[in-house]
Structure 1
């Protein structure tokens, strides 16, 4: 579908690819549009919903400035998916051991590996980049316990919240492995540190903001280059984390599934990140907060909730969306409201046929707390084509 709604309350318009958006998210988008360095317009994807400062599902082009809260604290969060040479008929009748094998191989929640699992070729460039960050901003190292041990032993770990590892079947009954995670504890502290630093800058410069969480760094100021380096490091770390997690997951599956090889890697993509791109005649810092790149012909991954469908998609290079599309279904209620609304009986009902945890600790991730993924996909038919439709049969949550 084309753009369904436009907000004209700021310096630039906000173009929205859905009419399912609440007033809080609309106000956040209008606030972003009031910032003096927004280029052209802001695009809001069909999964758009209220975030902290910046709206989840927003694509924000800026000239000469970056808003750290728009990138967020899970820097580089994103998806990875591979197709295996297995069909659904080759899977065991019970997938409990499959789930347990993944959970044994990949620490979840706040847990990390007992020793470093990543290869030295992965660790060395990350180590050098982090050392530069800590030399310039030693406070970052004090914000996380045992930072040297933590960052290296959390590579290849899942985290919590909406992060997951799934075994899925596509429309041809082919088996896929799909996972979702980001930059873990180290990305979180880098994000929080620079968000607070930007707020201090705004107070010192006496900048009036429509929302204090929209504090920003501009090119040429004291911390701009440091943030650009730090956020790129966080994005590289997140990419490495997903690669290592996929490797560990596939190794674990080799012990419980019939012989397989990888037949196709869909993509390893960010959906919380900033990059330098050209749009509407200018090079801009493009922040995708809950959105993925969807250039013409580019493959991407759009997951649904833990009981719904997910999709491998191909971008159409839509200019108005800044070559972007949604990063998922998008929440319709907060985690707190979800826990008040649903119980474990509801979770078991809504995740029938999926081998997953069905306890109170993951009720906030129940499918009923998310938008209808089919409607989300219909609303972005101008942005992407569907290549594969996936249905999960195993879901590992933190």
Structure 2
């Protein structure tokens, strides 16, 4: 049996507190005795923990409690000073570069990789109500050789590759199409008007007719009249063959919303903080949709290319990446960013048409992507690509919208810029059950009752979008108070979605 770590060895690392030594000895003895890690690996982990206790405290792993204990000491201004011995261990580890790429075989045109033995540590918010499948997917993502950091949002649920609600930072020259998602740049957009919220009750017929006239749902939906099509003057529409082939389709679908959980709705916005507007209740329009057929086709095309170019173990195959210094990587990056501009233009078409019909200009408009990849810098200075799949950017200056369900109020938020969450927050309440389970178990009578109790008028939708198919947003918000502050509350009242039984595009 391998020898255990001694008290003198802990002292050599700089751990001189008897109480802390007891904790470290208990953990190390368990890890070594049970064959989880060899002694030198545990010593390396301990040195890394002492160097960055916050990283281990904000993660879910075998050293989380030790990280919390050391962080508590550091927060009290009594941080442990790294010894020369500890620095020597860290230097040896830094020089030991793991090899994850397998040797190429004769004639092989792909690159084949293995995963890290253990996932990198990452923070989980709202772990009590996140399904096991989402946790497993996130752990697999954190075993990627290109993974740098990650976090899991409280609305998380299982998806393809990266879970919905997953945030993944990868090396600065890599992007994972499936970690962005199929509906590239799916986003929220809110227009607040200088009109009383009582219009919802007093002008219900008018507001319903505007939804019917100016919104278009369904997989093949198109919009004939354009408010502003100047987006199509951008030179990027001629950049690549896939973009050129999809340009006409994108033009026809400008100003449409698709299927799935996409919606356009009138509601009451109650402003709680004068950071946004003077306190009060306003008529507001909220929409949720993405880049339609254009984004979906781009995602499928480059996801297949990534899986052809980058071979990974079966459990991680949907997390295949493209190098940004490759032709395919550059093409995807251009197309992804164009899809972001296009998704925004889709929302603006709808909101501008509504505003014109009301003879109003919005007092304020708030919008944000939540299926996208950004070039960012971590707190320690590392340049990375941050993928937010179903997660809202929550930097200190970021405004965002976190919706509930068709009967549950959502919120306008401002990010707090927390590094542990990669400056991210949830993108909604998150699904409580799959679409199939919702259709099989939820009764139409229950939905009708819920709508009546909430005073909501619904146009379209099916049981897979029933309010009871979603988590309680209040629980989700309570799990992310460190990530965002609430500025306003939006209560949906007249909701339009795609007709039932259409394949979801979200």
Q: Same fold (TM over 0.5)?
A: yes
Corresponding residue of 1:16: 124
Q: Which runs of 4+ in 1 moved over 6 A?
A: none
Larger CA Rg, structure 1 vs 2: 2
- Where does residue 168 of structure 1 map in the other structure? 267
1:204-258 Cα shifts (integer Å, max 9, x gaps):
xxx4464211111124334111111111111111111111121123234x2xxxx
TM-superposition CA deviations, 1:165-200 (whole Å, max 9, x none): 111112332111111110001110000000011111
Paired residue for 1:218?
A: 323
Matches within 5 A, 1:192-231: 192-203=300-311, 207-208=312-313, 210-231=315-336
Alignment partners' CA distance in 2, 1:183 and 1:111: 13
Q: Give the whole-Å Cα distance in 2 for the aligned partners of 1:225 and 1:170.
A: 41
TM-score (norm 2): 0.70
List runs of 5+ in structure 2 lacking aligned partners: 1-56, 63-116, 271-279, 499-506
Deviates most, 5-14 or 303-312: 5-14
Note if 1:28 corresponds to 2:82: no
Which structure has greater strand proportion? 1
- 1:133 corresponding residue in structure 2: 240
Task: Report the CA distance shift for 1:391/1:380 in structure 2 as closer, same or farther (over 3 A).
Answer: same
Is 1:159–2:250 an aligned residue pair?
A: no
Mapped to 1, the partners of 2:363 and 2:335 lie a distance apart of 35
Q: 2:390 aligns with which of 284, 290, 295?
A: 290
Do the aligned residues in 2 keep the contact of 1:310 with 1:389 (CA within 8 Å)? yes
2:419 corresponds to 1:319: yes
Q: Which residues of 2 match residues 331-350 of structure 1 at below 5 A?
A: 331-350=431-450
Structure 1: unaligned runs, 5 residues or longer: 142-146
Moved more, 339-348 or 307-316: 339-348
What is the aligned partner in structure 1 of residue 11 from structure 2?
none
Task: Give 1:6's match in structure 2, choosing from 50, 60, 71.
Answer: 60
- Counterpart in 2 of 1:144? none
- Which of 163, 166, 174 aligns to 1:65? It is 174
Residue among 80, 89, 95 paired with 2:189: 80
Structure number having the greater helix percentage? 2
Q: CA deviation at 1:118?
A: 4.5
Residue 75 (structure 1) shift: 0.4
Residue 329 of structure 1 pairs with residue 426 of structure 2: no
Worse-matched range after superposition: 292-301 or 96-105 = 96-105
Distance 1:327 1:167, change over 3 A: same
Describe the SS at the equivalent of 1:382. Answer: coil
Query: Quick one: structure 1 residues 394 and 5, their matched pair in 2 at CA, closer, same or farther if it must change by over 3 Å?
Result: farther
What displacement does 1:112 show?
3.3
Q: Distance in 2 between the 1:5 and 1:333 partners?
A: 26
Contact 1:102 1:396 in 2 (8 A): yes
Output aligned runs, 1:240-319, within 5 Å.
240-252=345-357, 254=358, 260-265=360-365, 267-280=366-379, 281-319=381-419
1:34 is paired with a residue whose SS is coil
Aligned residues: 374
CA-atom RMSD in angstroms = 2.0
1:112 counterpart residue number = 221
- How far, CA to CA, are the matches of 2:231 and 2:331 in structure 1? 22
Question: In 1, are the aligned partners of 2:200 and 2:266 still within 8 Å (CA)?
Answer: no
